[in-house]
Structure 1
Amino acid sequence: MSTTPRVVIIGAGIVGANLADELTVRGWHDVTVVDQGPLPLTGGSSSHAPGLVFQTNASKTMTEFARYTVEKLRGLDVDGAWCFNQVGGLEVATTPERLTDLYRKRGWATSWGVQAEVVGPEECVRLHPLIDADRVLGGLHVPTDGLAKASRAVVALARRAQARGARFLGSTRVIGVEQAGGRVTGVRTPEGVLPADVVVTCAGFWGRAVGAMVGMEVPLLPLAHQFAWTGQVPDLVGRNDELTEASLPILRHQDQDLYYRERGDTLGIGSYAHRPMPVDLRDLAPDDDVRESSMPSMLPFTEEDFAPVWEQSQLLLPSLRSTKVDIGFNGVFSFTPDGGPLIGESADVRGFWIAEAVWVTHSAGVGRAVAQLLVEGRSEIDLHGCDVHRFEEVQLAPEYVSETSQQNFVEIYDVLHPLQPRTSPRGLRVSPFHARQESLGAVFLEAGGWERPHWYEANAGLVEQLPAEWTPPAREPWAGRFSSPIAAAEAWRTRTAVALYDMTPLKRLEVSGPGALGLLQRLTTGRLDKSVGSVTYTLALDEAGGIRSDLTVARLGEHLFQVGANGNLDHDLLRRAAPADGSVVVRDTTGGTCCIGLWGPRARDLVQRLTSDDFSNEGLKYFRAKRARIGGVPVTAMRLSYVGELGWELYTDADTGQRLWDVLWSAGQDLGVVAAGRAAFNSLRLEKGYRAWGSDMTTEHDPYEAGLGFAVRTQDQGHVGSEAIAGLGADTVTRRLSCLTVDDGHSVVLGSEPVFLDGRPAGYVTSAAFGHTIGRPIAYAWLPASAGVGTAVEIEYFGRRIPATVSAEPLVDPEMARIRG
């Protein structure tokens, strides 16, 4: 008799079918897949999806999902008919900017282990003879990309899952999710209740409605996307038989927001070039009459939106001039505020999971990841960029979800800089210092809804005062976007005088109650049972020893802790782990408080003018905290610094924040005080070797690989992940997060570039910046542990190799004399 949980999967499309397959192969056989549409063609997005699988993505996680989809679907067939046709993928460039970007994409592919090459116009035409060679400058060819036949793959996956015990119920509408005691107990249908210990919604664009059944806000927006089939294309006649269907590479013409795929002697054309078309689910047709040419997810074709697209298609593919559009439709797909999938368990109803906003490209990878989460407790692939709880409360508002999802639709094929901010909505979250920052000409970028100064135009005059060794080299145009030489001046003043940094957007959590210490000791690697006033840098690991987050924990009372966290995922972790007996209270205090990082060799001179409290080295030691008053403002001062200089993080309530800024600003004028932004901050933190979770390390890395073994208590472990890392150390690692300095002194990379060792790909860049103090670019990268200090490597940047050297870290003040002064 099976003792595995009873699982109900809502949605029998490509994601639900993959999940059923992945669960049953892991021994969970009590799996029911239910769908409101008929089987196997349910009428959702999978039923009409064009099935293009382009693997290369800026995200390692998304690329890994796609690679697994290719690997898995290649091994499937339905009665001899293919589920994946590996015809390859070709992305063409018709502008110099796009061609340059294709070299960047080739770098991503190399970083993540996907074979890819940038080819010239002649090779583009050899690969895809319909292309007009005079229209293209080159292309990115990925031989392992191809076509997924989603509707056929669903059949193959369902057959395998059913053979292991799963059952599929079609034409069965879900009308509710049963729950008791904060847990799911079943799924209600008109025919009765399907008992369940675990419910996973894979309902696609219906996901928001299903989430609402348990009060869960699912931030996705259904949008219509145009797709059309041509009539017979003469140059395709005779190329394919009915079984093969396609032999040319799938093709993307991203300069015009278009893609193409073969089907026999016709061509399918998909377009993102039209206006966003949000879909109201109430307007969709019923599911009781689903056919290949007619289903709820296929809306009427709007010919006026397609007319410009048809003209552009005929320019790139002249063969289309001898045919016409045969049929078309506007297909419904899910979009999210940041373009990523939505994976995770409800914060309030245990056992209710979602796997939404997942396209065919990533379907098998997501199915495997969710199955691993359910069966094994963790995914082998880092999921922080897909976790549904990554969004802040303000980002869950329907208005925000609608606007940002539509913006993602418009920008889906655009060449975007890694720092490129949203243009709208803006001003959602501002610190109490915002008015002062605006008056200083702050250049704001956006993250998590926060307005974050990256530099201040008021400091432009300081650039002329920079000593020669601090003067930064000119940046090449792409890397130089969203940067300014003013950052060098702000870094200079931080190292030589004193600067104010707005640290308000960093997540702050209050953990209190008699069980607070025990909870934090169980979840983190550091020793926290220290005196009141202690501050500890520590890690949160998963059961396999991967780094879930890095945290700064201040003990402000016997049962009161302030946790400096990375984001909402940490809040979710602490909330879930808190005991049900009420002995621990977890509160997000970020919005009601604020923080100034006051750092630099003159920081003590400044703060001591404004307080009678002792801010001397003995009065407040490194990594200690105390309550004080500065200029009459009550603060919690923590002696720590992520720029490597003497100073404090000064916390106060939001209503007194502007006053704190003003008194520090006024009193520091003769000391050379400046306001400094994130550009300087990032440069200074890399010079000190401080890691950024989510970029430099994730759940795919253990503390010793990441160079953070010092944050792990070696005695009385007992924390999550302790068994997994027992016996590990700096001498056991096979890979390491390494510090690189760029040999030419001026080439600044952006992140995710491949790193070559002895001419072969060996790792990838995580974080990078120009090191203003050392006068050279810095990059951190994952490399084999054998690549010790002094090892010569190369970073591939937009197709060219940049020599770099593995360097000892930290690059600045290794003795820690400045920060402890």
Structure 2
Amino acid sequence: MEQKRIVIIGAGVVGCSTAYYLNKMGQQDITVIDQGPLFETGGSTSHAPGLVAQLNFSKLLTAFASQTVADFTELGDGERPSYYPVGSLELARTPERLNDLKRKAGAGKSWGIEAHVLSPKECKEKNPVINPDTILGGLYVPTDGIAKPLRAINRMADFSKSCGTKFYGNTEVTGINMIDDQVKGVETSIGDFEADLVICCAGFWGPQIGEMAGVTIPLQPIAHQYIFSNDIPELAGESEEVTSPIIRDLDSSMYYRQVFNSIGIGSYQHEALPIEISEVSKYGESADMPSIKPFTPEHFLGKPWKDAQNLIPGLKEAGRKRGINGIFSFTPDGMPLLGESEKIRGFWVAEAVWITHSAGVGKQMAEWIINGAPTLDLELCDINRFDSYAQSPTYYKPRSKEDYEKVYDIHHPFETPATSRNMRIIPYYIRQQTLGAFFNESLGWEQPQWYEANESLTERYENRIIKRDGWQARYWSPIIEAEHLHIQEHAGLYDVTAMNKRLEISGEDALTFLQTLTTSNIDISIGSMTNALMLHELGGIKDKITIIRKDNQTFIILCTSAVEANWIQKHVWKSGEIVIQDKTASTCGLGIIGPGARDVMQSIDPQVFAEGAWEAKQVKEIYINNIPVLAAFDSKCGLEYWEFFTTNDQGLPLWDVLYQAGQANELIAVGDRALESLRIESQTLRYGKDFWSEHNPYEINLNAWIDLTKDFIGKKALIERGKKGPNLVSSTLVLDQPDKVVMGHEPVMNNGKTAGFVTSAGFSYSLGRGIVTALLDPKALENDTEWNIEYFGQKISATVLQKHNIIT
């Protein structure tokens, strides 16, 4: 294999895990540098309490944590283990939390993590320090526990050293050497190190290292309180560091772990305490390590301490010993920052990673670097997921603080962020406001979810609208359902600006490049469009894209997000005649969908939009009144669909022309949620929601999109994966009870065993049933037997409607 000179900045648990896995995969020329002593370097790893709670509503974070548990277990020994599998308890003080724990237990089945909802009495049996009268129950995960990261690091480092990796402590990085936006080396206090690839694992110092390379690393260091009690009576006879399950009192935003005869207490029950790097001392400049700030008792001695004593009565007698404000990294969306920067080739990042996920991240980083793609889909963690607007401190600092303050909240999938809003405004935003749009953020854009102006339609469709209550009624309105039904009968005007990134690719080699990039033949006629797949090097689906051919050498690419746009840019040949321009920020788009769409367009221009003047997937550059637009005609969700793109200065006039012309044909403005509901009812799959890069086209029934007569990225790996057969198959199920709907991530059970999980969920008005898309075990699909979907601990019977979904 090709050997690269790799320098890892940061010898904490993430840096050492990455080096460990790179060595295991055959890389040898690796240097690990840290400004502190090895291996208690003074970063977050050195003071973290070590709680590992694997189960998360994020499938990806759960996978990271499970890998970390497996690795830390293997890296231990009998006398000094790196992991104590004592289990965990997440407690509920409210009915809402208890219901959420039931939902989380379902996610455990979906992701393969054993979890049980317990009564208060059973919680106390697991951990005797708990006062059961204060809680309604808890969620028990037996494989959770306490990590000892410094022990794991030492064992990882021993292995890496045996492979030739060199470690340098007390070595400060002072610069990153680059030539033509390519990393060439690292400058340090003890000299320069040549490098083909640099991996920044510097923890909350990451943004400082990023600045040296001209790369923004959008994280905010925040101080978090952790307190040690004196010995408590219930633990008087304990001789082991930890034997009792860790406790997370979610409704009080606090957590607890045994430390021999005492309790360690962590509290999120205080305002976010952001730290600037300039406020952090270097190792040895203060009594404490750099990642520890002085304890601020005013943030703990009120309600947090009372809540702690209320849950664990032994703390009243024991009292506090000492406390710290330990620094951790938080990001705008709560996810790590991973991958190679789009700005500087060879500059990689693995930041904002907690110990819980550390070894899992290290493994994926190594796979990504060596194989060209990781095994898991890391798009939600990709450092390039943030467009330029989100790289401003004005955006990521407030949003990161919001993430800290909500870390133990009950999170709803449609919850809207409160901070860093109105970062990207569409030209017709003022019209959307006038119509009472309820906004959420999508790729930074303010995206309407529904319009209060359509409230009267809820009376019109009252007898047909599915009624929701409880969890599924949060961040929801019956207007969504009314818009859905109205579109199916008439027409809707929809803002498509935030649906994708819009790239223009031109040049003599543009067609050849796109043929290599995609799995199907895209040598289409001028003035037409087609859908195509991009695969990564391991044969997984990198994206489903739309390609519009404007002329022989010019193509418009509609891809999912900044991550896929960066992936396209990364694969442009250095020697080719290709120019890529990102048109996203300078353009906007509107769609008209429904059986009345053509009538609306003909009322604007009977000649241009005459019957028979357009074929499916045809694209034309036309004028609507005096507005130049790129117009595309197709079907969407089984309905006639027109899409129009124009420059931002023409966006408001375009909205006005389309909206006013449509009034005679009952056209309404419709939000994103109604379109998503239509998509689910039509059984149309969506990239990033129903399938992602862990899946190959054969699992999603996209065989027809593969042209094996041409060469394309990932072809060899795809052929091998095709021979092995699918691991999961995309399928549709309907709920047997007509008044039931679910939300997503729920486990799908076949004869009492988990057979897969729900990816999308909604209601089919044509069938009069709740409908879901799910990824299922193909072996289970061979059985025409009992199917159930577990929702908040309750089983809802279901029927398999279709074993392979379609995608358009």
Pair 1:767 & 2:760 matched = yes
In the aligned structure 2, how far is the partner of 1:544 from the partner of 1:53? 30
How many Å separate the matches in 1 of 2:672 and 2:764? 14
The alpha-carbon distance between structure 1 residues 730 and 663, as it changes in their structure 2 partners (threshold 3 A), is farther
Matched, 1:748 2:741: yes
1:578-727 correspondence runs (5 A):
578-581=572-575, 583-611=577-605, 613-616=607-610, 618-714=612-708, 716-726=709-719
Q: Name structure 2 gaps, 5 residues minimum.
A: none
**Which whole-Å CA distance do the structure 2 matches of 1:142 and 1:748 have between them?**
27
Asked whether the 8 Å contact 2:762–2:770 carries over to 1, the reply is yes
Kept after mapping to 2: 8 A contact 1:613/1:629? no
Aligned to 2:612, the other structure's residue is in SS state coil
**Equivalent residue, structure 2, for 1:251:** 247
Which residue, out of 504, 513, 523, partners 1:519? 513
**Structure 1 CA distance for aligned equivalents of residues 723 and 624 of structure 2:** 42
Q: 1:213 to 1:94 in 2, by over 3 A?
A: same
Cα-Cα RMSD: 2.0
Moved more, 88-97 or 483-492: 483-492
Selected match of 1:550 from 544, 547, 557: 544
Give the 3 Å change call, closer, same or farther, for CA 383–3 of structure 1 in structure 2.
closer
Query: CA separation in 2, counterparts of 1:617 and 1:118?
Result: 60
Instruction: Tell me the alpha carbon deviations over residues 724-775 of structure 1, each in whole angstroms, 9 at most, x when there is no partner.
Output: 2237769943521111111112222111111101110010111111223433
Partner of 2:380: 385
Report if the CA contact (8 A) 2:681-2:763 is conserved: no
The correspondence of residues 3-402 of structure 1 with structure 2, limited to 5 A, is: 4-77=3-76, 80-239=79-238, 241=239, 244-288=240-284, 294-307=288-301, 308-402=303-397
Q: 1:103-146 deviations in whole A, cap 9, x for unaligned?
A: 11111111100111001011100001111110011000000000
Q: Shift in Å at residue 580 of structure 1?
A: 2.2
Secondary structure at the aligned position of 1:646 is classed as: strand
CA contact (8 A) 2:729 2:803 kept: no
Q: Deviations over 1:353-378 (max 9, x none)?
A: 01000010000000000011111221
Secondary structure of the corresponding residue to residue 381 of structure 2? coil
Equivalent residues of 2:526, 2:551 under 8 A apart: yes
- How far is 1:707 from its partner? 2.5
In 2: Cα distance, 1:317 partner to 1:138 partner: 15
Runs of 4+ in 1 over 6 A off after TM superposition: 727-731
Residue 502 of structure 1 corresponds to 495
What letter corresponds to residue 414 of structure 1 in structure 2?
Answer: D
Measured in 2, the distance between the counterparts of 1:493 and 1:630 equals 25
Aligned to 2:567: 573
CA contact (8 A) 2:701 2:804 kept: no
Task: Name the residue aligned to 2:750.
Answer: 757
Alpha carbons of structure 1 residues 104 and 788: separation in structure 2 relative to 1, 3 Å: same
Are positions 1:417 and 2:412 aligned together?
yes
Aligned residues of 2:700 and 2:804 also touching (Cα < 8 A): no
Q: Deviations over 1:71-99 (max 9, x none)?
A: 01011237931110111011111111110
Q: Please tell me the residue identity of whatever aligns with 1:203.
A: A
Say if 1:376 and 1:11 are closer, same or farther in 2 by CA, change over 3 A: same
How far, CA to CA, are the matches of 1:767 and 1:758 in structure 2? 22
Q: For 1:632 and 1:373, how far apart are their aligned partners in 2? A: 49
The count of corresponding residues between Structure 1 and Structure 2 is 805
Q: What is the TM-score of this pair, normalised by structure 1?
A: 0.95
Return the letter of the residue paired with 2:486. R
> Which residue is 1:406 aligned to?
401
Separation of aligned partners in 1, 2:153 and 2:544:
40
Per-residue CA distance 1:6-64 (angstroms, 9 max, x = gap): 11110000011111111111111211111000112110000001000000011111100
- What residue identity is the alignment partner of 1:394? Y
What are the Cα deviations for residues 512-555 of structure 1, in whole angstroms up to 9, with x where unaligned? Answer: 12221122111111211111012111111112211111101111
- The offset of 1:312, in angstroms, is 0.7
Q: Secondary structure at the match of 2:380?
A: coil
Deviation at residue 664 of structure 1 after TM alignment:
1.6
Deviations 1:615-650 (A, max 9, x none): 346322111211112233221111124332112111
The one-letter amino acid of 1:183's match is Q
- Secondary structure at 1:527 match in 2: coil
Are 1:122 and 1:133, in contact at CA under 8 Å, matched by a contact in 2? yes
Change (3 A) 1:665 1:289: closer
| Range with bigger deviation, 505-514 or 44-53 | 505-514
In structure 2, relative to structure 1, the CA distance for the partners of 1:747 and 1:79 (3 Å cut) is closer
Counterpart CA distance in 2 for 1:799 and 1:522 is 47
Q: Which amino acid aligns with 2:747?
A: P
By how many angstroms is 1:689 displaced? 2.1
Cα distance in 2 between the residues matched to 1:29 and 1:642: 51
277 and 486 in structure 1: CA distance in 2 versus 1, 3 angstrom threshold: same
CA 730–187 in structure 1, closer or farther in 2 if over 3 Å, else same: closer
Relative to structure 1, is the Cα distance of residues 790 and 486 closer, same or farther in structure 2, using a 3 angstrom cutoff? farther
CA contact (8 A) 1:78 1:155 kept: no
1:480 equivalent to 2:473? Answer: yes
Which 10-residue stretch deviates more, 612-621 or 529-538?
A: 612-621
Paired with 1:172 and 1:556, the residues of 2 have a C-alpha distance of: 54
Name which of structure 1's ranges 583-592 and 317-326 shifts more when overlaid on structure 2: 583-592
| Separation (CA, whole Å) in 1 of partners of 2:784 and 2:427 | 46
Q: What is the match of residue 769 of structure 2? A: 776
Deviates more, 1:252-261 or 1:570-579: 570-579
Three-state SS of the structure 2 residue aligned to 1:658 is: helix
- Cα deviation, residue 579, structure 1: 2.2
CA distance in 2, matches of 1:547, 1:660: 35
What is the CA–CA distance in structure 2 between the aligned matches of 1:611 and 1:633, rounded to whole Å?
A: 13
What is the DSSP-based 3-state SS (H/G/I as helix, E as strand, rest coil) of the residue aligned with 2:133? helix
Under a length normalisation based on structure 2, what TM-score does the superposition of the two structures give?
0.97
Cα deviations across residues 666-703 of structure 1 (Å, max 9, x unaligned)?
22212111111112101111122222211111111011
- Identity rate of aligned residues, in percent? 41
Contact 1:595 1:649 in 2 (8 A): yes
| Alpha-carbon distance in structure 1 between the residues aligned to 2:601 and 2:758 | 38
For residue 285 of structure 1, give the secondary structure of its aligned residue in structure 2: coil
Match of 1:81, SS state, is coil
C-alpha distance in 1 between matches for 2:425 and 2:723:
41
User: Is this contact kept in 2: 1:78–1:156, CA < 8 A?
Assistant: no
CA distance in 2, matches of 1:664, 1:436: 12
Contact 2:228 2:322 in 1 (8 A): yes
What SS class does the counterpart of residue 437 from structure 1 fall into?
helix
| CA distance, structure 2, for counterparts of residue 678 and residue 346 of structure 1 | 31
SS of equivalent to 1:726: helix
- Aligned partners of 1:236 and 1:265 also within 8 Å: yes
